[in-house]
Amino acid sequence: MTTATGKHRSRTGTLGRKVAAFLTAAAAAVGIATVATSSASADDRDDLGPNNCIWSDYGNFVQNCWFHSDAMGQDIQVQIKRSNSDAAVYMLDGLRARQDWNGWTWQGDIGSVFTNDDVNVVMPVGGPSQFYTDWVGQYHGSEGPFNPRWETFLTSELPNQLAAGYGISPNNNAVVGLSMGGTAALNLAANHRDQFKQVTSLSGYLNTTAPGMYLALQYAMGEGNPGANIWDMWGLPLDPARFRNDPLLNVPKLNGLPVWLSAGTGIAGPNDDFFADPMGGMAGFGLELMARTETAPFELAARAAGANVQVSYPMQGIHNWTLWNPELKNARPAILDALHVQYRAEGPAW
């Protein structure tokens, strides 16, 4: 397991690099062209980044960093797990995104998925009920950012800073999202094909202009953060911004893109204690059923548009982390393949 002490990790990483350099030089001296070293021998994940980064209490090589957004007029926290490669997977949260950490850490247990893979993991923090989109108006919820310009941040401002300070390519990324984040992931991938090489939606809402969805999304946004209004986000029902942010309408832009889709049935699984929170269980049933209802036709449309679609439709699973963590593990090989990253066999973190 990892520690939260940056100094200890930096010494370990430095020693690993010295050992790797010595072995490579020794091999060249005896006529060996290259020496293959494991990712354990020298790994940038041991080093803190330049953006006022500190080690996260979550461990698993995750660090908390802050990147400035001119569009939003503030610094945005982003949690990062570094690697030696230039590839990155962006992990997007759900409607109840927190202000202190991305849900994929403590709730989604991202450390059990990508910790030992040679891929950077980028996890923006904050933005409850904001759908990672550029709003047409101001945000009136209790927690910011209050001038949401997430699309600009995630596809321009953040990639430029990651390239300059971390060596992460702005053109070799995947994007993964759950619920609200699944909707956003597909929209970002469709509208920024030069950046994203793979997209994964877990329980996303994939037809946001369907009849009744305007009011349904308003209700969900208010539940995620009171004061969040869909008319402030995408305008009135006929505003072009609303149609630009409907994944189903963006399907023609997905031609040739690897797409992973997942949604459950809403039926509680073995890890769900329905009777401990009956109201939450009912909400989880309804939300997941709606996601499944919209994901299935989206799959057919995406296939018809020429996307390279893979799906996982488990027979059990409510709108909860008990579904999303195992489904991310199922999607992991496809994500890493699209980024040309070799993936390790399953096992515990070092």
Taking the domains of the chain in order of start, what are their residue ranges? Answer: 1-42, 48-338
Token pair belonging to 165: 């300070």
- Determine the pLDDT at residue 14: 38
CA atoms within 13 A on the CB side of 316: 9
Token pair belonging to 341: 């990253």
Q: 316: pLDDT confidence band, cut at 50, 70 and 90?
A: confident
In angstroms, the CA 336 to CA 35 distance is 23
**Residue 319 known to be catalytic:** yes
What are the backbone dihedrals phi and psi of residue 19, each rounded to the nearest 5 degrees, phi first?
-65, -45
CA atoms within 13 A on the CB side of 345: 0
In angstroms, the CA 236 to CA 259 distance is 30
Domain 48-338 has CATH 3.40.50.1820: yes
For residues 265 and 315, is the Cβ–Cβ distance under 8 A?
yes
**Residue 179 known to be catalytic:** yes
pLDDT in tens, 147-189: 999 999 999 999 999 999 999 999 999 999 999 999 999 999 9
In angstroms, the CA 202 to CA 224 distance is 18
pLDDT in tens, 90-102: 999 999 999 999 9
Among 143, 151, 157, 288, the active-site one is 288
Per DSSP, what are the bridge partners of residue 205?
none
Task: Match 């030992």 to its residue by tokens.
Answer: 116
Q: Which of 102-106, 294-298, 313-317, 339-343 has the lowest mean pLDDT?
A: 313-317
Among 83, 143, 262, 319, the active-site one is 319
More confident residue, 318 or 231: 231
Among 129, 179, 203, 262, the active-site one is 179
* Dihedral of the alpha carbons of 304, 305, 310, 312, in degrees to the nearest 10: -70
* 303 DSSP assignment: H
**Has residue 2 got a pLDDT over 50?**
no
pLDDT in tens, 193-226: 999 999 999 999 999 999 999 999 999 898 888 8
